[in-house]
Chain A
Amino acid sequence: GNSVTQMEGPVTLSEEAFLTINCTYTATGYPSLFWYVQYPGEGLQLLLKATKADDKGSNKGFEATYRKETTSFHLEKGSVQVSDSAVYFCALIRYNNNDMRFGAGTRLTVKP
């Protein structure tokens, strides 16, 4: 079945450090891939997405590239800020399918 595996947290970084959160997936066909972010006490917000192989999604300094050969969609940011502290979820959805699958989430804490 379709599934997403992302690196376990929590992740604690200092401000301006480089961030990588790993995400790999298993899916039939060609899924669309997403990163969602959840700030404390809130629902999930779409951070970025990619719909086909080699696409790069980007938003707010975050980037992720859809790598079909390694079935990965790792999230990166060159310089994190305290305001980036949140839980990050990798997710996939197959084309024309309503069943979105999420990873377990990675909690990021950025210290000043």
Chain B
Amino acid sequence: DAGITQSPRYKITETGRQVTLMCHQTWSHSYMFWYRQDLGHGLRLIYYSAAADITDKGEVPDGYVVSRSKTENFPLTLESATRSQTSVYFCASSARAETQYFGPGTRLLVL
């Protein structure tokens, strides 16, 4: 099906482990984004990418790494997970710097 998908939908990990969250979109949108959603904060931008091999930091990038080797994929890696990274992570894409379309989210629990 066309659209934007995220995997896994739920993940439990332990402090210090590496975790990669996947995001895939079928629209060939140039822009892709990663947000985290926490109570009281709304959504905060972690990283974004304007095209393959182009990435940039958002509001809260510390502790995260991204890559974009292909237009359709935008994985987010927590190199050494911390409890403060327990959150719901949303991937989004857009054709240009305006309306964004969101995936269903990944709920991450770091123990």
Contact present for A98 and B42 (CB under 8 Å): no
Bound Cα distance from A32 to B100, whole angstroms: 12
Knowing A97-B97, A98-B33, A98-B97 touch, does A44 contact B102 (C-beta < 8 A)?
yes
Contact present for A99 and B45 (CB under 8 Å): yes
Contact present for A49 and B99 (CB under 8 Å): yes
Restricting to B45-93, which residues have a CB under 8 Å from any CB of A?
A: 45, 48, 50, 56, 58-59, 90, 92
Shortest C-beta distance, A59 to chain B (Å), equals 12
CB-CB under 8 A from B98, the residues of chain A are 32, 49, 51, 93
| Neighbour of B99 across the interface among A4, A46, A89, A105, CB < 8 A | A46
Shortest C-beta distance, A86 to chain B (Å), equals 14
Cβ of A82 within 8 Å of any chain B Cβ, yes or no, is no
Q: State the total of A-B contacts with C-beta under 8 angstroms.
A: 53
CB-CB under 8 A from B50, the residues of chain A are 98
With CB as the reference atom, state the residue of chain B lying closest to A96. B97
CB-CB under 8 A from B45, the residues of chain A are 99-100
Contact present for B102 and A45 (CB under 8 Å): yes
Contact present for B97 and A102 (CB under 8 Å): no
Knowing A43-B102, A43-B103, A45-B102 touch, does A104 contact B97 (C-beta < 8 A)?
no
Partner-A contacts on B (CB < 8 A): 31, 33, 35, 40-45, 48, 50, 56, 58-59, 90, 92, 97-105
> Can you report 19 A-B residue pairs in the complex whose CB atoms are below 8 A from each other?
A34-B99, A42-B104, A43-B92, A43-B102, A43-B104, A43-B105, A44-B102, A45-B102, A46-B99, A51-B98, A89-B42, A97-B97, A98-B33, A98-B48, A98-B56, A99-B48, A100-B33, A100-B45, A102-B35
